[in-house]
Structure 1
Amino acid sequence: MLKTTTTHVRALTTSDLPELNALLDRDPLVNLFIRNRVDATKLQTRWLGGQVWGYFEDGALVSACHAGANVVPAQATPAAVEAFAEQAVSDNVRPSSIVGPRDAVLPMWKLLEPHWGPARSPRLDQPFMVLEHDSHLRPDPRVRPVVLDEFDTVYPACVAMFTEEVGVDPEIGNRSGYRARVAQLISQGWAFAIIEDGDVLFKAEVGAATPYACQIQGVYVRPDQRGQGIAAPALAAVVQQARATVAPIVTLYVNDHNTAARRAYERVGFEQTATFASILL
């Protein structure tokens, strides 16, 4: 007689933290975003701004999914992807994006597209890249952590990068939320820039971190400075400083079609280890 597997999905609570952390630690680089959120909030809803769902088989946690402003699956099996999509529809979740490993995001989007589609910007091939040591490039000595007094100098560059990359002006809608997020990154020492004569020539931030690794985001070169070889040495400096002050391994992901960025990251020493996808809604 065949054994029937019992499955269910539910919101995880603080009592689930040991099992959830063990699950996320199966791939601590790819699962970095969720681990960062879990470490920061301890799954308390008021801080999490959503939930983390768990998919269980015979009482054991098999997969997880962050469900808030972003839907992010972790260690998601095909059965878990289907269950998470059903849960999202049932709970009327309305995120701004679905992000994560492509082999989970694309089948999840296929199930959710009839309810949430069409996508504003589907990004179906995003190399996930890793660097575990300082770059062989000479780091640009002008790169340094941004200080909070420089918020008004750096903020316009953050808005410009976000608008260019995401296709939405972050000042429309929740402007105060975006300003608070930029200020938070600066306060944490996670924002880095080249600032000359009151102008931002380059900037990047660490968007998430665990004791094991961190993730760079928001890489920006002022438009009139592009094509002059600034990005790679500047990013090498960010890697060096992030490894010294945040976490020993540095990760990022990039759109496949952004060949200039990919070449810069490869020059720094980043290597692709996985593939992400993002569905911007």
Structure 2
Amino acid sequence: MALWRRSAQSVRPVGPADRDAALELCLRDPVGSVLAAVQVERLGQPPPSGTQLLGVFGDDDPQPAALCWAGANLVPVALYGDLLVELAENLHRRSRRCSSIVGPADMVLPLWDELSTSWSLPREVRADQPSLVIDHEPAVAPDPAVRPARRDETTLVLPASVAMFTEEVGYDPTVMGGSYGARVAELVATGRTYLRLEDLGDGPQVVFKADVGALAIGVAQVQGVWVHPQLRGRGMASAGMAAVVADVRARLAPTVSLYVNDYNAPALGAYRRVGFRQVGTYATVLF
């Protein structure tokens, strides 16, 4: 049920002058805030087209009390109570532009409860996605064949990325234009896509893949983990993720995180064997 009432808050885009205060909000929960923290760290640079980093401000407070990244995804930070209501009122006045609402479940689900009175029905609400973390060496031996992809391997990575996305989200992301392919190429070019190649009869192809989809405030969030269907159930995910964890912690960030659907028992088992532990719960509303 919506909580409609007027509060003494206001919503506006944050700018470079708000960067330190916004980072402080994110650092209260680095794992839960990493998706938005990517954009906070970019303050002062031109934001991606059609996106905003919104702050919720008190009337007499020059610093934001909560944040929300409004881009392809809607990502809340420190958004509770009257702050959440005020942001929802602001978003009610806009047309929905995001493809999902994602982040800690104790913010995402109440925010969706507020927005559901005027926004279109979602395709799915994933209300229980364990948020997992590892900040030490993996507990299983890393797969020595898993490594960062090279730029010239982008054409091999793209089919695996499309297969992962289609299986996870339910549609082929390339039908929306070239932005998905550009994102795959960006992750490869910046050394944030990991792969294992094997020849299954038609030449080399990706049989394991994982991406560091978000990197900020000392946290690397792994996304897009995928194992070729022919090779599932052989322990490739555990050994592959151990290799990813070891390299990410050596090169990119000391803390590695990810979130996974609660019903995906094989994935949860694989991550826990590597040494991941649960520190919270994410939720995703998919449109």
In the superposition, the TM-score normalised over structure 1's length comes to 0.94
Q: Distance in 1 between matches of 2:269 and 2:212?
A: 20
Matched-pair contact (CA < 8 Å) for 1:12–1:43:
no
Residues 5-31 of structure 1 deviation map (CA, whole Å, 9 limit, x = unaligned): 832111112221121112111112211
Q: 1:136 touches 1:268 (CA, 8 Å); kept in 2?
A: yes
For the residues of structure 1 that align with 2:284 and 2:217, how far apart are their CA atoms?
A: 25
Gaps (5+ residues) in structure 2? 1-6
Overall identity of the aligned pairs, in % = 43
- Counterpart residue type for residue 10 of structure 1: R
CA RMSD of aligned residues (A): 1.6
One-letter code aligned to 1:213: V
Which string of whole-angstrom CA distances, capped at 9 and with x for unpartnered residues, describes residues 222-267 of structure 1? 0011111111011000100111111111000000011111111111
Contact kept, 8 Å, 2:19 with 2:43, in 1: the verdict is no
Q: Work out whether residues 126 and 275 of structure 1, in 8 Å CA contact, stay in contact via their aligned partners in 2.
A: yes
**1:219 pairs with 222, 225, 232, which one?**
225
Partner of 1:266: 272
C-alpha deviation, 1:111, in angstroms = 1.4
Q: Distance in 2 between matches of 1:133 and 1:48?
A: 37
1:102-125, Cα deviation, whole Å (9 max, x unpaired): 111111111111222311111010
CA distance in 1 between counterparts of 2:155 and 2:110 reads 42
The Cα offsets for residues 18-57 of structure 1, whole Å up to 9 and x where unpaired, read as: 2111211111221111111222353634x36411111122
Q: CA deviation at 1:92?
A: 2.2
Counterpart residue number, 2:239: 233
- AA partner of residue 33 (structure 1): L
| 8 Å CA contact retained: 2:67, 2:79 | yes
Query: Alignment partner for residue 85 of structure 2, among 76, 82, 87?
Result: 82
Partner of 1:102: 105
Matched, 1:164 2:167: yes
Please list the CA deviations of residues 71-117 of structure 1 after superposition, one character each: whole Å capped at 9, or x if unmatched: 11001112111111111121324210000111111111111112223
Q: CA separation of 1:99/1:207 partners in 2, compared to 1, >3 Å: closer, same or farther?
A: same
Give the Cα–Cα distance (whole angstroms) in 2 for the partners of residues 185 and 99 of structure 1: 20
Aligned AA (1:127): P
Do 1:145 and 1:191's aligned partners in 2 also have CA atoms closer than 8 Å? yes
Match of 1:44 in 2: 46
- How many angstroms does 1:211 deviate by? 4.9
State the AA in 1 paired with 2:190: Q
Letter in 1 for 2:192: W
TM-score with structure 2 setting the length: 0.92
Tell me the amino acid that sits aligned with residue 186 of structure 1.
Answer: V
In 2, Cα distance between equivalents of 1:275 and 1:43: 31
Give the direction of change, closer, same or farther, for the CA distance of 1:211–1:82 in structure 2 (3 Å limit): closer
CA distance in 1, matches of 2:223, 2:256: 11
Secondary structure, in 3 states, of the residue corresponding to 2:262?
A: coil
Q: Which residue of 2 aligns with 1:22?
A: 24
Match of 1:183? 185
For structure 1, the residue ranges without an aligned partner over 5 or more in a row are none
* Kept after mapping to 2: 8 A contact 1:14/1:44: no
Which residue in the other structure is 1:10 paired with? 12
User: How big is the shift at 1:130?
Assistant: 0.4
Distance 1:63 1:43 in 2: 21
User: What is the alpha-carbon distance in structure 2 between the residues aligned to residue 117 and residue 260 of structure 1?
Assistant: 33
Equivalence for 1:275:
281
1:128 corresponds to which residue?
131
**Is 1:92 aligned with 2:98?**
no
Say which SS state the counterpart of residue 91 (structure 1) adopts.
Answer: coil
2:18 and 2:42 mapped to 1: Cα distance? 15
Query: Contact (CA 8 Å) 1:193, 1:200: kept in 2 or not?
Result: yes
Structure 1 distance, partners of 2:104, 2:141, is 32
Between stretches 113-122 and 73-82, larger displacement belongs to: 113-122
- Describe the superposition over 1:189-241 as per-residue Cα deviations: whole angstroms up to 9, x where unpaired: 00001102312111101001125110000000000111111110110001001
